[in-house]
Chains A and B, each alone.
Chain A
Amino acid sequence: GDSVTQMEGPVTLSEEAFLTINCTYTATGYPSLFWYVQYPGEGLQLLLKATKADDKGSNKGFEATYRKETTSFHLEKGSVQVSDSAVYFCALRTTGGFKTIFGAGTRLFVKA
């Protein structure tokens, strides 16, 4: 069945460091891929998405490229801030699919 695998956390970085959170997926058909962010005590918010191969989603300095050949959608940011501390979820949704499949989440701590 469809699934999403994320790198385990927590990830701890210093402010202004480069961030990569790995995400790979298994899916039939042609899924859309998403990154969601969850700040402490809140629900999930859409961070970015990509709907077809080679698309790049970007928002708030974060980027992720839909790589069909490696079935990956890694999240990157060139310079993290303390305010980026949160849990990040990779997700997919397939054509005609009813459910969104979420990864287990990766917690990011950014220290000043």
Chain B
Amino acid sequence: NAGVTQTPKFQVLKTGQSMTLQCAQDMNHEYMSWYRQDPGMGLRLIHYSVGAGITDQGEVPNGYNVSRSTTEDFPLRLLSAAPSQTSVYFCASSYTTGGNTIYFGEGSWLTVV
């Protein structure tokens, strides 16, 4: 198993550009989510999905879009990048039962200039 795979690992964007962070998991997990990590603030939930075709907003959804067309993939789209979106982004997945371990990808470092 590859686990949770994120691409790209590093990216520099100009303000106003759009891009997609890719996330794939091979564990047949129903639940997938995106977090952003900022210094001193831990990880904050952006969007999540409980299965193919179902997505919902987390704590900080503005400026981001997601879709879930397959169980395996959960891409995160930045529609018009802003410097405030400079952050480290983590994708995570798990089975839906509340006590199950959530597995994280290795992160995507995004800088918006």
Q: Do A and B bind each other?
A: no
Instruction: Show the binding face of B for A, using Cβ within 8 Å.
Output: none
